[in-house]
Amino acid sequence: MKDVLVKLKGTQETEDGEKNKIELVTEGKFYEKNDSYYLLYDESEISGLENSTTSLKIKQDEVSMKRFGDNNSKMEFKKNYKYNTLYSTIYGNLDMEVSTQKIQVDIKEGKGKIFLKYKLLISNNMESLNTLDITIS
């Protein structure tokens, strides 16, 4: 396991045109196990997920994201794949559907980039188009 710097850039655009952007730079841990890469980092107040930790399991054509702490969720990203899950917050549980449109993984020797583009449907009524651009160095 090695220490890495994680840069995250995320965008969210709702159906009514509202756009939100987030940028976060944090320290994380990176390692390789059983033909997969793993990235762990703590969320912050900036992301709205303070007191939560995010863990990514990364393969060439799929990424699994787990969050645990005050906010618990699991999302799977594979191109043209819909993943249904439960999003648990301190305010209650919400049904969530993740539809991956694009996934790019370029990691070598513990450094690289991950790009995800996906639609998010929460409780069958709030839909957004999201991107997540992660740089590991």
pLDDT at 4: 97
pTM recorded for the entire structure: 0.88
Domain regions of the chain by residue span: 2-136
CB 59 within 8 A of CB 49: no
CA dist 73 and 96 (Å) reads 9
Residue with tokens 């991107």: 131
47 phi and psi angles, rounded to 5 deg: -80, -10
Which H or E element spans position 57? strand 52-58
Tens-level pLDDT at each residue, the chain (137 residues): 999 999 999 999 998 889 999 998 999 999 999 999 999 998 766 555 566 789 999 998 999 999 888 767 889 999 989 999 887 777 778 888 999 999 999 999 889 999 999 999 988 877 899 999 999 99
Report the topology of domain 2-136.
Lipocalin (2.40.128)
If one counts every other C-beta atom within 10 angstroms of the C-beta of residue 6, the result is 21
**Which long-range contacts (C-beta less than 8 Å, at least 24 apart) are formed by 15-24?**
15/127, 15/128, 22/46, 22/47
pLDDT at 45: 61
Query: In the chain, helix, strand, coil percent, each to 5?
Result: 0, 75, 20
pLDDT at 19: 95
